[in-house]
A = this chain, B = another copy of it.
Amino acid sequence: MLLCDIGNTSYHFFDTDTKQDYKENTKDFNPTEINKTIYYICVHPKIKKLLKEFSNWIDITTMINLEQYYDTIGIDRIVALEAIYNGVIVDAGSAITVDIKKDGIFQGGFIYAGSRAMAQAYKNISSALDYEFNFDIDLTKLPKNSQDAISYGYLKTLYNEVISYNEEIILTGGDAQKFLKIFSSAKIDKFLIFKGMQKIILEDEEGTIDEV
């Protein structure tokens, strides 16, 4: 089965048979290049509209029971949540989304700035705050230098909140490896979203068979 998670910058493909993934840039890639069936989710408004034209591109959104989610939550957050029964999902990309699920029920979630956006925010405030974040920082000690002062401001604040749920932490997204330094007890699941997609598709197929 070929899956695709389409974001603002790339088509992220995953082949469930080979367990291989690859990316194509949203600017260059032509979706008619592929003839086989692709199950996808998409947050890119233009591409979302375009893909409706092609019968081999199947949007899985309609297969999900959306009742427990709110209207403006990203479909990528929903799909990742569908992959788990209990836990905190920290999806560290351009934004960091943190979503909590307990006993199969979505508890809510929040959105934090991704590391690149946050570094830019500090830099925009003052050139004196133009530092790379120190992910090796000791978060048990109050900072006494500028780089640690901004790193702690960005990371410790997030850390406190995520840890407070006392649930398993699942890290995903492009910055997952960086954030593992902060959430040392977390597990990384870089294909969490594809797990969720696969689960949704299989459950939908089962449902369809039952109804026949």
Contact = CB atoms under 8 A, between A and B. Distances in A.
Contacts of A142: 100, 107-110
A122 interface: yes
A143 B109 contact: yes
B153 A111 contact: yes
> Which DSSP category, helix, strand, loop or mixed, fits chain A's interface?
mixed
A202 interface: no
Counted per complex, copies of this chain come to 2
Contacts of A120: 121, 124
A94 B125 contact: yes
A95 B8 CA distance: 29
B146 A94 contact: no
A122 B106 CA distance: 23
A19 to B, nearest CB: 30
